[in-house]
A and B are shown apart, each in its own frame.
Chain A
Amino acid sequence: MTHHLHIALWGVLPYLVLAVLAGGTAWRYRYDRFGFTTRSSQLHESRLLRIGGPLFHYALFLVAGGHVMGLLVPEWLTERLSVHEPLYHAVALTVGGTAGIAAVAGLAVLLYRRLRVPAVRRGTSRSDRLVHPLLALVLLAGLTATFSSSVSAHHPYDYRLGVSVWFRSLFTLDPDTAAMAHAPLVYRVHALPAMALFAAWPFSRLVHALTAPLGYLTRPYLVYRSRARTTPYRHPAAPLERRPPR
């Protein structure tokens, strides 16, 4: 029974989440491009946001970078580069731990602000109510996982031989569910809400992350557009217009 559960959770669910993430994003981009926004509340409250916003987001960049390192780079590669496990672990713990604490602190400021500033609270949507607790849960579990491996001193769990193997196996379409099933509970508690978060991604304000304006770096300052090219986007459900008779 548990075997089937493991297969469902770590062998099937990730693909479902990926499908929802990709399909949902495509669907939203097609049907609700107007909804792609940060829904910023800075107009109502600026002081706390100026602390919490950058703290949370910049820390998240570091955290995301750390996940790329930890999940995608196999251990044999770092060994080959003479970065041995204890050193790697120490670096991951200090950098990842700091970033994690910063992200949690930033989120705490933002959540406090969202709950206590009436105007911001009023602007909170239903999807926010789902996404914010999920984010907090994922961050806290992740932070716990980072520190738990250093606290249990003797035989720290090497996630690069467990969780990472499972993660990479997902992309070879041969999920190593056992690797994840045998991981400590905290890793599984981290991964499950994370998958929920990715599934909720296209349907919440998180989509703004997918529209990061990197093109701004190479674009000319001034943008000219012709009337004929004003709106390249037409809602698929909008009726086709008749051309006015000439």
Chain B
Amino acid sequence: MPDRTRRTRRDQRDQRDRQNQQEQNRQDQQDQQGGQKRNARRSRRSRRPAAPRVMAQVAMVMNLDKCIGCHTCSVTCKQTWTNRAGTEYAWFNNVETRPGQGYPRRYEDQDTWRGGWQLKHGRLVPRGGGRARRLARLFANPELPTLDDYYQPWTYDYDNLLSAPLGEDVPTAPPRSLVDGRPTAVTGGPNWDDDLGGGPDALAGDPVLSRIGTQVRLSYEQTFMFHLPRICEHCLNPSCVAVCPSGALYKRVEDGIVLVDQDRCRGWRMCVSGCPYKKVYFNHRTGKAEKCTLCYPRIEAGEPTVCSETCVGRLRYLGVLLYDPDKVGEAASVPDERDLYAAQLDCFLDPHDPAVARAAEESGIPHDWVTAARDSPVRKLICDYRVALPLHPEYRTMPMVWYVPPLSPVVDALTADGFDGEEPAALFGAIDTLRIPLEYLAELFTAGDTGPVEAALCRLAAMRAHMRRVNLREPRDPALARGVGMDEDGIEAMYRLLALAKYEERYVVPTGYSHSGPAGAAAEAGCSLEADGGPGMYPQGPPDADAFHAPLGAPLGGPPPGAVPPQPAPATDPTGRSLRGRVNLLDWNGEGRPDGLFPRRRESGGKDA
């Protein structure tokens, strides 16, 4: 009985929390209305029952068929964000080989790390425990991975190559730990088990594989592998945010990007264990959490993330999804894990629906975002073609980076057996009979339910078969498309998006807006990663947005502590002296004679010259 009363009290508190949160969001929206605040409030009150609340999310889809595991995304991301002391081991973007242990090793084993959410008596609580348990473990987080679970970062003592005394042997560059500077033995590193490296012993540690069963395992290892690029999922129901005691992690109202406020982070490191994808990292120099930012300065400027921009296989898609935030909590707490995929799909709203578009604009989403949501390649792959699936929905965080499961392993297996990999009958049969890859993919993307994976693969197979007929000028077979619940136009549009889509079709990113206050307020808000030792750190304070996006290659200023983004044309020259109205010659394009090219004459300039 006391248990029950406590439960109801908790339920009430949760209910209240949710209402407070909604109220706060509503407040934000009202602020956004500015001068028409009172009007807006009145109209909303009268209309509220009909219109759902709408929020926008910038989401990503990756087409795994196209990933060749080149790690270009990882490297460019690292060069942009984590090439600093303290984050040597951190990869906001990493590409892991599946099957494999992943990075950090065995991160998917939530019995150990206790990330994500779980249902407890029908209520959604962080798997690592509720508020009281979190606070009680403030002084030592029992579920925190240590550096050994990622890898011990190292460098080489290159100086020895030059400074070694003359001798018989060729000098070497011995490895040195990047953490304590001492000689070290390299026993692990980024992508240590790349391309199934490490063999069956390393593979045995794959938590997904161990869920499928042993007899499957052996035959599976002989069949195929694929690459899985991972960034932060920017979840709709982020558990890292939920477990942060200081409230430093937050989800942005405008675009759904999950960020760490570096000035509020106190280094309690609950987020590191709270994130089931292990995509929050602890900077051991600054003592703060850092994570993938979805390259928000680029997203705000309407540009794709660095990992998308530099993807060699062009397998990433970026776009806006509209969703109903009031449905998220309910969707994340459906009892059966296998219903989570469908429940999440149910949260998304159709921007073509005039009622949704109206509700979106009432919720403060600008018109160009609604337009972008209509053109969103991500929405097409997720909602229209249903070929993209979420990664590990069973963590109940409602992840927003989705994946088109790879069909090529099935095709490869088929051709290796001497069959025609694009012949529809053989292909459909293979998808049906190659249960092992199917079950593995289902463990990754649909909590073990092979249905949606099979449907997605069949759609991809039908697309292959159909397009072959088109290319070979063979008679088309409408039954092919109908068999997978599509029509020929739809299949060809999907083919275009997956195979041919150009830059602006793959990345439909509207420029940023600010949800409350007048335009320009966001520019003053600054950057949450701007701090000593943090990325996005400017020697002379943040630049203004216009100068930042100026096409001219602006000179670098100040000392280079890792990544110093390009400096805007400042009022001072790179050494910090005032230009006093004169042109910085590094910014001069060599044409014309702008004011201030030459110093003013003493007579007219007064004491300035």
Footprint of B on A, CB under 8 Å?
33-34, 36-46, 49-50, 53-54, 56-58, 118-119, 121-123, 208, 211, 213, 215-217, 219-231, 233-234, 238-239, 241-246
- Known pairs A119-B180, A222-B242; A229 contacts B525 (CB<8 A): yes
Interface pair B284/A38, CB less than 8 Å apart:
no
Chain A residues, Cβ within 8 Å of B253: 224-227
* B262 at interface by CB-CB < 8 Å: yes
B266/A44 in contact, CB under 8 A? no
CB closest residue in chain B, given A223? B250
Checking A208, A230, A234 against B267 with a beta-carbon cut-off of 8 angstroms, the contacting residue is A208
Contacting residue for B514 out of A37, A222, A228, CB 8 A: A228
Question: Which residue on chain B has the smallest CB distance to residue A220?
Answer: B17
B248-286 residues with Cβ-Cβ distance < 8 A to A are 249-254, 259, 261-263, 265-269, 282, 284-286
Q: Across the two chains, which residue of chain A brings its CB closest to B135?
A: A216
Top 8 A-B pairs, shortest CB-CB distance = A213-B245, A220-B17, A221-B242, A37-B287, A39-B287, A37-B267, A53-B140, A118-B180
Interface residues of B, Cβ cutoff 8 Å to A: 17-18, 20-21, 24-25, 28, 126, 131-132, 134-135, 137-142, 144, 146-147, 177, 179-182, 237-238, 241-242, 244-247, 249-254, 259, 261-263, 265-269, 282, 284-288, 512-517, 519-528, 531-532, 534, 540-542, 544-546
Residues of B within 8 A of A234 (CB): 526
Residue pair A211, B284 in contact (C-beta under 8 Å): no
The answer to whether B532 and A223 have CB atoms under 8 Å apart is no
Which secondary structure characterizes the binding site on chain A? loop
Q: For residue B399, give the distance in angstroms from its CB to the closest CB of chain A.
A: 15
Contact status B284-A246, CB under 8 Å: no
Most chain B Cβ neighbours within 10 Å, of A53, A58, A220, A233: A220
| Selected contact of A220 from candidates B21, B132, B284, CB within 8 Å | B21
B179, A217: Cβ atoms closer than 8 Å: no
Let me know if A53 and B139 touch, CB within 8 A: yes
Contacts of A244 in B (CB 8 A): 520, 523, 544-546
11 new A-B contacts, CB < 8 A, other than A122-B180, A222-B21, A228-B521, are A36-B263, A38-B268, A44-B147, A118-B182, A215-B246, A217-B132, A222-B242, A227-B253, A228-B516, A244-B523, A244-B546
- The number of inter-chain residue pairs (CB within 8 angstroms) is 192
B142:A226 contact, CB within 8 angstroms: no
In the assembled complex, the Cα of A57 lies from the Cα of B268 at a distance in Å of: 14
- Residue of chain A at shortest CB distance from B543: A241
Q: What are the residues of chain B within 8 A of A243 when measuring CB–CB?
A: 520, 523-524
Minimum CB–CB distance from A78 to chain B (whole Å) comes to 31
B147 near A43 with CB under 8 A, answer yes
B residues within 8 A CB of A220?
17-18, 20-21
Contact (Cβ within 8 A) B514 A36: no
| B302 nearest CB across to chain A (Å) | 15
CA of A225 to CA of B261, assembled, Å: 10
A138–B450 Cα gap in the complex (Å)? 63
- A222 and B237 within 8 A (CB): yes
Q: Which residue of B lies closest to A235 (CB)?
A: B541
Task: Check A226–B531 contact: CB distance below 8 A.
Answer: no
- Complex contact A34–B263 (CB within 8 A): yes
15 A-B pairs whose Cβ atoms sit less than 8 Å apart in the complex: A34-B263, A37-B265, A40-B287, A42-B140, A43-B144, A43-B146, A44-B147, A44-B179, A49-B140, A118-B177, A216-B134, A216-B246, A243-B520, A243-B524, A244-B544
Residues of B within 8 A of A122 (CB): 179-181
CA distance A213 to B244 in the complex (A): 9
- Contact of A42 with B246 at beta-carbon distance under 8 Å, contacts A119-B180, A220-B21, A234-B526 already known: no
| Closest CB in chain A relative to B461 CB, distance in Å | 39
